[in-house]
Chain A
Amino acid sequence: MIRRWTLLVLLTMGVCSGAMPAAQAAPLPADSVYRTGLILRDQDGRVFTLVSLRGRPVIVSMFYVSCRDACPLTVSAIERLRAAIEARTGRPAPPVVLISFDPAHDTVRELGMMAAMHDLKGPVWRLARPEQGDVRAFAATLGVFWRQRPDGNFSHNVEIVLLDADGRIVTETAGTGAPDPVFVRAAARADLR
């Protein structure tokens, strides 16, 4: 019940943008992926909007829990990217939001189990499922596409995307091999905001 109520409040806030906190009052840039207005729920059951990520750079990628092959590789690729960024700057690397494209199966419980299995701790790591909004359109803005195969698994590609503080795409990498130096340099830039 409380969860439903929270969702309703968030939805209302989304509709009446006048209710936004003052710090986020400036309109989103035209090319901000936060314009897709997704509402998400993380592994701790907390509901949040894409726009609430505004204010600092974020690393975003997409996955599904029952994925055995590409997704664990993506998690370790992001860990290596973050380590490389921190080695370069001496500061904490941007936090990570992993968004499921299989909300039918990826419940809060599933997300929590995956976080525990890979030792992914908040607030740096947020695993989230879409609650409201067009997740396929959001994914397409990141260049992520999937289709469900008859056996229930997904054909999908992997993009690890660096967003600036306003949700604009800075750079992206597929995450194979050594950490992409372009990605690491971009994330390490002091003026990235």
Chain B
Amino acid sequence: MRAFVLWTVFAFAVCGHAAASAEYRVVPGGTFVSALSLDGSGAPVKIAGFEMRPVPVSIGDYLVFIRAHPEWRRDRVSPLYADSGYLASWAGPLSAGPDVDLRQPVTEVSWFAARAFCAGENGRLPSWYQWEFAAAADDGRRDARDDPLRSERILHTLLARTGHAPGAAGAGRADIYGLYDMNALVWEWVDDYAAMFVNADARDPDRQNLLGFCGGAALAFDNRSAYALMMRVAALSAMGPADSSGNIGFRCVRDMQQGKQP
């Protein structure tokens, strides 16, 4: 009897875990030059290897999360952490609506909520550099950013989707790491997004929000052909951490797990 109880508890723990966490993919470390001159133009940035969720967190994933953490239901969340736009298009606090595809990426979530979700599966939001490093890949190359056809394709997809709800995640083709929809499905929260718009040394606090104005962030770009990235950064720059947008979702990263070879 005791053994059975133990087994049940064990099975529950294992299954609970499987349901709550996605199969993360390895992004081996490397060096790259960011399109944003955050730390000096053209300075190569060293990225340690990490693991990333293959698709943005889905509405279905998010429902599981708020059932387990009801303080993140839209009718219970603190106004400190989420504004009135939080999950605003949902039919109810625990229902996205009868016609909604649960595989769609969840949007209308604040930065605070996205962080809490990732913490709930022992992960965190990626840093901008981690996100940009991973998003530079295509299905054959780790850094495909200098391919003009690729940039055009991303921009074209992005424009075609403007004004429509994001489709199901993971429908397209995986990149070289096994990640989907990094560039064109939704914009994604990154952990240090707000600090990207802070003046380099804050000695001049009156000007520190200069890049915080929508579009102004484009001034910080080294490579002005990266329009899709510019749109993304401009969108993030307009957001406060408790704000939500129908175009902004997220995915999580975590440290490289032991035993996996990069």
Contact = CB atoms under 8 A, between A and B. Distances in A.
Nearest to A36: B80
A80 interface: no
A136 B79 CA distance: 17
B80 A147 contact: no
B202 A158 contact: yes
Interface residues of B, number: 30
Nearest to B197: A145
Contacts of B206: 174, 176
Contact of A146 (B38, B81, B195, B241): B195
B29 to A, nearest CB: 15
Contacts of B112: 137, 140
Interface in B75-122: 78-81, 111-112, 115, 119
Contact of A140 (B46, B127, B194): B194
A141 B195 contact: no
B203 interface: yes
Contacts of B241: 140-141
B205 interface: yes
B20 interface: no
Contacts of B45: 150
B80 A156 contact: no
A155 B80 contact: no
Q: Is the interface of A mostly helix, strand, loop or mixed?
A: loop
A140 B111 contact: yes
A24 interface: no
B207 to A, nearest CB: 10
Interface in A17-70: 30-33, 35, 69-70
A172 to B, nearest CB: 12
A155 B205 contact: no
B200 interface: yes
B200 A155 contact: yes
A147 B43 contact: no
Which of B38, B191, B202, B208 has its CB near the most chain A CB atoms (within 10 A)? B202
Nearest to A174: B205
Nearest to B209: A157
Nearest to B78: A30
In order of increasing CB-CB distance, the 5 nearest A-B pairs are A147-B195, A145-B194, A70-B202, A174-B205, A145-B195
Given A157-B198, A174-B205, A176-B206, 6 more contacts: A73-B203, A137-B112, A155-B198, A155-B201, A156-B195, A157-B208
29 contacts: A30-B79, A30-B80, A31-B79, A31-B80, A35-B78, A35-B80, A69-B201, A69-B202, A70-B202, A134-B115, A137-B115, A140-B111, A140-B112, A145-B194, A146-B195, A146-B198, A149-B200, A150-B39, A150-B45, A150-B46, A153-B201, A155-B38, A155-B200, A155-B201, A156-B198, A157-B209, A174-B205, A175-B205, A176-B205
Interface of A: 30-33, 35, 69-70, 73, 134, 136-137, 140-141, 145-147, 149-151, 153, 155-158, 174-176
Interface of B: 38-39, 43, 45-46, 78-81, 111-112, 115, 119, 127, 191-192, 194-196, 198-203, 205-206, 208-209, 241
